[in-house]
Structure 1
Amino acid sequence: MNRFAELLDRLAYEPGRNNKLRLMTDYFRHTPDPERGYALAALTGNLTFQYAKPGMIRGLITERADPVLFALSRDFVGDTSETIALMWPVPEARPNFIPSISDVVTTLNTLGKAQLPAQIARWLDALDETGRWALLKLVTGALRVGVSARLAKTAAAALGDKDVTEIELMWSGLEPPYTDLFAWLEGRGDKPSTTDPAPFRPAMLAHAIEDTDFEKLDPANYMAEWKWDGIRVQASAGVNEHGDRIVRMYSRTGEDISKGFPDLLDSLNFNGSLDGELLILRDNRVQSFNVLQQRLNRKAVTPKLLLEYPAHLRAYDLLFDGSDDLRELPFEERRTRLQSFIARHAHPRLDLSPLVAFKTWPELAAARADPASAGAGEDANAVEGIMLKRRDAPYMPGRPKGLWWKWKRDPLTVDAVLMYAQRGSGKRSSYYSDYTFGVWSVIDGTDTLVPVGKAYFGFTDEELLKIDRYVRNNTVERFGPVRAVKYGPDEGLVLEVAFEGLQRSTRHKSGLAMRFPRINRLRWDKPPREADRLENLEKMLEGMEMGRSALQAAAP
């Protein structure tokens, strides 16, 4: 456990990608099985424990320290694990036993819920501050040391001078502690294979395209399709060795979300693997992402939920057709196979995402600006943008440059006034980086700022320092970790906020809710009295609703 704690500590403070790779590869090379396998599982987010929850961990410290002091310390430190590790009282007689990672994993997977708190407390008593921090990170699954799952796999691949893509392609069939994987990487065993009939295949991702990129690209080399406002999923189906049919639905990152969508799984009558978008369809029209959210992360899926929010899969790509692996084929050829595949397995819950016809970049830009006139029809309001895919591109894990591009529709913007700020978490725990902003509205005959949203990204590190300094110098009141800042018609900080959409909300005082708000730029040049008004946002929303109504009226 101490070596793993040292690795996490060094990774957390190491900014360079190559240095992070060297640290992890060195750890994998000099750490025996099964310890390194469980470490790889932790770094890739593949360790979960049924009863080890953050609430239980917080309960342990509040039994041993003043709860108010813990809450204040947590707000200052910005990380629960680090706060508990620093505050944990060291017993006079410390246990003479340092747990290994395999000890922790095995115990957490077998121990009952009632016995778990006492066992974690014994481990915390035995470890030093860094060890306690690493243990709590391991238990809660929130490492946050600046390492992605792909980077950790890349470090493991370096043991045998392998391409990380090879590991990505077999990853879904592997389980911790990955002894077969490490044996293959070190030349001591055969390459692992999987017998899972419905595995997850690592997703191919796109780069955001910039205006300057079009100058280097030939439109004849690309095909375009709509980017729908749902969530990217993969549907995989097959028959196991016992003849049982297995169907699974995965998120873009490989999380099995099948239990949440039994209605959709029942309709997938194929053998193979599809890449597509999970949507909600009502009366054959794609609903907004806000409607889809009613189906996401549900512990129980009721008949009423299934009836009111029917799930639908809109296919983008075909990875496997039966046992035929199509990922090495060019996209244009896979697309032809996909059309035939969907036709063979026709179902009301499954359809094909249409292509966008274009010959020049200006034609594609016009389609992006007006999807309704470019083939999206009544679903135009559910179009998030356009995907560009090279005709000759194979389906590759990760985000290879130049093969796929995403060109999202221009966001909506509003000028709002900063009202409240709160410190962030992790590396931002020392800065006020989470902001609540508002627009003007007449309340009881007086112009008043009404909160309309919160944002914690979109700004640069340099801008963060400026906003943090402004918050500290202009605080007028404190509410725990939250600071209210000075604002009025002639004093305050105006933020240009970008967002993807608006919807009506009974949970917000303004009556509106923004989708994906972020800070677009700082308007030091604009006095708060010139910020937007709530009426502007209401007109914006009314325009969206009228557009949706017009599309529905025009639909056959």
Structure 2
Amino acid sequence: MNRFAQFLDALSYEPRRNGKLALMAAYFAEVPDPERGYALAALTGGLDFRHAKPALIRELVTQRVDATLFALSYDYVGDLAETTALIWPAKPGANRVPGLSDVVETLRGAAKSETPRLIESWLDALDANGRWALIKLVTGGLRVGVSARLAKTAVAQFGDLPVAEVEELWHGLDMPYTELFAWAEGTAAKPEHAALAPFRPVMLAHPIEDKDFDRLAPGDFRAEWKWDGIRVQAVSEGGTRRLYSRTGDDISHAFPDVIEALDFDAALDGELLVGADGVPRPFSVLQKRLNRKTVSKKMLADSPAFIRAYDALVLDGEDLRTLPFDDRRARLEAWHTATKPARIDLSEMVPFSTWDELATARETNQATGVEGLMLKRHDSTYEAGRPKGPWWKWKRDPHIIDAVLMYAQRGHGKRSSFYSDYTFGVWRGDDLVPVGKAYFGFTDEELKQIDKFVRNNTTNRFGPVREVTHTAEQGLVLEVAFEGLNASTRHKSGVAMRFPRVSRLRWDKPPAEADRLETLEALLPG
């Protein structure tokens, strides 16, 4: 466990992507099975200890430490694992220091009643760094700047393997991935049996800028609407059906209605949406179905899911990814006409002859769920990753409002010493009502400025949350950019923003001149 703790610590302090890859590749080379496999599972989100939750950690530490002292310390540090690791009054020599595999295998088989005792004994045996790593591991909040794909890339780099092949096999492999590491080290063949209904790494687009249009010929590109859902890959091969997110996560369990409809032999790339009769509903409705282990009958009836297909990767066992886009699209249309699959329709192609003509179409289409356009070269093959040139995304310009900072909370990790999570509001009558939260968009220098304002203007405290001055005369106005707006019964204002971020600090503007709720209500769909 100590070696794993040192590994996590090094990753958390390494800012460079290549540096993180080097650290992971070295760890996989130095650490034996099954330890390295469990570390890989932790980095890719493959571990779930259902009885070990943050609330349990808080309960354990407040049995050893005064609750008020812990609350004050947690408020200052801003991170549960770090606070507990530092404040925990251990009993040295009480227990043997566990290995990573000891923790994983024991905790996965432990009953709910056994879990507190196990975690307490391990916290006693470990030093501060080990306690920090243990809590990060069991609560699933590593926060070391490593995505699942980056971890898979590190395995590929360690074994000099194509990362696309690692990703395609991933969902057919079992933790602790001994077959994968044996293949990477050259001591065993590629585990071909794992490639049943695999995930194919997706092709991504670059945001287009005005200057890009000067060197692109309209006749070389095809356009289709960019829908505000989630990018998915629907795969049905050899009797196995799976629905993947764009990062390769298997989300089949949350969409049984879509899985039931995959009664064909194909791998399709598209957008997952919800709505009846092929009419998309706002993203907030789809969001209610994400990250669920089970979906109720009522939710299936009220929010039916469907796929708007963009591309065909495999049809009837034939891999089409090396074909030009126009050929893949023609094959997709012919297949869809012949198969008539339930819950799958086709993305609409947008005819145009000039960029100005396409710009007009982009601005005038106000249909719910349309957030812009996709541009794809007619001769582009389907390449994994984000190659520069073949595909572009042309999103609508974001909405901009001026809002007033109302509440702030400390961040996590490197931001744990700063107030970096902000709740902001607009005017409704003579009162401010919260309309959103943002925790990015500002520079490091601006973060310091906002943090200083929060500390100097705090008027109330609610646990870790600070209420700051927000009157018509005094306060900080934030220029907030966001992608869309939906009605919401969960928020006092009645609206919910899509991807809000701070785009500018308006020190020059008095709070009384911030926007009003009516301005946002006018943006609601329909």
How far 1:228 moved relative to its partner? 1.0
How far 1:415 moved relative to its partner? 0.9
Query: What amino acid is the match of 2:428?
Result: S
How far 1:299 moved relative to its partner? 4.5
Worse-matched range after superposition: 306-315 or 388-397: 388-397
CA distance in 1, matches of 2:277, 2:159: 54
CA distance in 1, matches of 2:467, 2:276: 43
CA distance in 1, matches of 2:274, 2:378: 29
Match of 1:339 among 333, 343, 354: 333
Moved over 4 A (4+): none
- Please say if residues 411 and 417 of structure 2, whose CA atoms lie closer than 8 Å, have aligned partners that are also in contact: yes
After TM superposition, the structure 1 = structure 2 runs for residues 353-364 of structure 1, keeping only pairs within 5 Å, are 353-364=347-358
CA distance in 1, matches of 2:423, 2:522: 22
CA distance in 1, matches of 2:440, 2:459: 24
Match of 1:310 among 304, 307, 327: 304
Is 1:301 the counterpart of 2:311? The answer is no
User: 1:84–1:506: structure 2 CA closer, same or farther, 3 Å change rule?
Assistant: same
Tell me which residue corresponds to 2:175. 176
Is 1:450 the counterpart of 2:433? The answer is yes
Query: What amino acid is the match of 2:400?
Result: T
- Please say if residues 167 and 199 of structure 2, whose CA atoms lie closer than 8 Å, have aligned partners that are also in contact: no
- Please say if residues 174 and 194 of structure 1, whose CA atoms lie closer than 8 Å, have aligned partners that are also in contact: no
User: 1:37–1:172: structure 2 CA closer, same or farther, 3 Å change rule?
Assistant: same
After TM superposition, the structure 1 = structure 2 runs for residues 395-406 of structure 1, keeping only pairs within 5 Å, are 395-406=382-393
1:146 match: secondary structure: coil
- Please say if residues 74 and 83 of structure 1, whose CA atoms lie closer than 8 Å, have aligned partners that are also in contact: yes
CA distance in 2, matches of 1:354, 1:325: 23
CA distance in 2, matches of 1:287, 1:366: 24
User: 1:73–1:263: structure 2 CA closer, same or farther, 3 Å change rule?
Assistant: same
Query: What amino acid is the match of 1:81?
Result: A
Query: What amino acid is the match of 2:336?
Result: I
CA distance in 2, matches of 1:238, 1:158: 29
Is 1:430 the counterpart of 2:429? The answer is no
After TM superposition, the structure 1 = structure 2 runs for residues 246-265 of structure 1, keeping only pairs within 5 Å, are 246-265=240-259
Q: What is the root-mean-square deviation of aligned Cα atoms in Å? A: 2.2
How far 1:283 moved relative to its partner? 4.3
How much identity, in percent, do the aligned residues show? 62
Worse-matched range after superposition: 339-348 or 128-137: 339-348
How far 1:348 moved relative to its partner? 4.3
After TM superposition, the structure 1 = structure 2 runs for residues 7-26 of structure 1, keeping only pairs within 5 Å, are 7-26=7-26
Tell me which residue corresponds to 2:517. 534
Deviations 1:371-412 (A, max 9, x none): 26xxxxxxx222011122233333333333333322211222
Question: TM-score w.r.t. structure 1 length?
Answer: 0.89
CA distance in 1, matches of 2:19, 2:258: 44
2:386 match: secondary structure: coil
Tell me which residue corresponds to 2:373. 386
Query: What amino acid is the match of 2:300?
Result: L
1:142 match: secondary structure: coil
CA distance in 2, matches of 1:221, 1:479: 57
Unaligned runs of 5+ in 1: 240-244, 373-379, 546-556
2:519 match: secondary structure: helix
- Please say if residues 475 and 486 of structure 1, whose CA atoms lie closer than 8 Å, have aligned partners that are also in contact: yes
User: 1:540–1:17: structure 2 CA closer, same or farther, 3 Å change rule?
Assistant: closer
CA distance in 1, matches of 2:67, 2:274: 44
How far 1:352 moved relative to its partner? 0.7
CA distance in 2, matches of 1:158, 1:253: 18
How far 1:284 moved relative to its partner? 4.0
Query: What amino acid is the match of 1:394?
Result: T
- Please say if residues 415 and 496 of structure 1, whose CA atoms lie closer than 8 Å, have aligned partners that are also in contact: yes
Residue-pair matches, total:
526
Query: What amino acid is the match of 2:442?
Result: F
Question: TM-score w.r.t. structure 2 length?
Answer: 0.93
Query: What amino acid is the match of 1:115?
Result: E
Tell me which residue corresponds to 1:89. 89
Tell me which residue corresponds to 2:471. 488
Tell me which residue corresponds to 1:242. none
Tell me which residue corresponds to 2:105. 106
Query: What amino acid is the match of 1:198?
Result: A
User: 1:79–1:403: structure 2 CA closer, same or farther, 3 Å change rule?
Assistant: farther
